[in-house]
Amino acid sequence: MSLSFLTKQGHAIESVFDELAKLRIAVFRDFPYLYEGSLNYEKEYLKTYANSERAFLFAVYDDEKMVGATTCIPLGDETEEVQAPFNDAGSDVESIFYFGESILLPQYRGLGLGHRFFDEREKHAAGFGTYKTTCFCSVERINHLAQPADYRPNDAFWIKRGYHKVPELKATMEWPDIGETESTPKTMIFWMKESV
């Protein structure tokens, strides 16, 4: 397996929107996201990253196919729904860097790319010298009927990376679950790491 890597920043991220959108839809169909995605919605969502000069994409390719990707963006450039729990808690959003998706097709997992995704994002955020905290959020699905018997959450991996769960920091995001046409609200719980 010969993998190659690509980085993009700010407006340049738009050049891989189609690939990134398709990968997000493919990976997020699995539990716990169960996302019934559409290319139109994805491209609209990804504009937030293209509009931020400090947003960053790190992508993995097998030959010419994008098989994994991760993004990050200053929290101050994120959408209102992502900023809301921090604003409500009185946090300084301008001192926080938000980590978006970490997505990887199943056959490429177990190769250390998850760690590489965090390394690349943390290095990017630290390079500005002004961000004291990094964070990300994950969907909360409790006793969901679609949970596979062998499902293992990423909590242990995230803790190993130095992140801690902050249950009081919750955002609400909406998307349609697989087989549905209407979006429904989902609770997203934040994880944080101090001192980038």
Task: Report whether the peptide linkage leading into residue 74 is cis, meaning its omega lies within 30 degrees of zero.
Answer: no
Query: What pLDDT, on the 0 to 100 scale, is given for residue 145?
Result: 86
CA distance linking residue 162 with residue 49, whole number of Å: 25
| 34 has a pLDDT exceeding 80 | yes
Q: How confident is the model at residue 43 (pLDDT cuts 50, 70, 90)?
A: confident
**C-alpha closest to that of 188 among 47, 82, 74, 94:** 82
SS3 152: coil
Neighbours of 157 (CB within 10 A): 13
Query: What pLDDT, on the 0 to 100 scale, is given for residue 64?
Result: 94
Residue pair 44/38 in contact (Cβ under 8 Å)? The answer is no
Domains and CATH numbers, the chain: 3-194 (3.40.630.30)
Q: Quick one: what percent of the chain has pLDDT higher than 90?
A: 86
Lowest mean pLDDT among 33-37, 71-75, 80-84, 121-125: 33-37
Beta strands, E only, 17-104: 56-62, 65-74, 96-104
15-26 pLDDT, tens per residue?
A: 999 999 999 999
Q: Which helix (H) or strand (E) holds 87?
A: helix 80-88
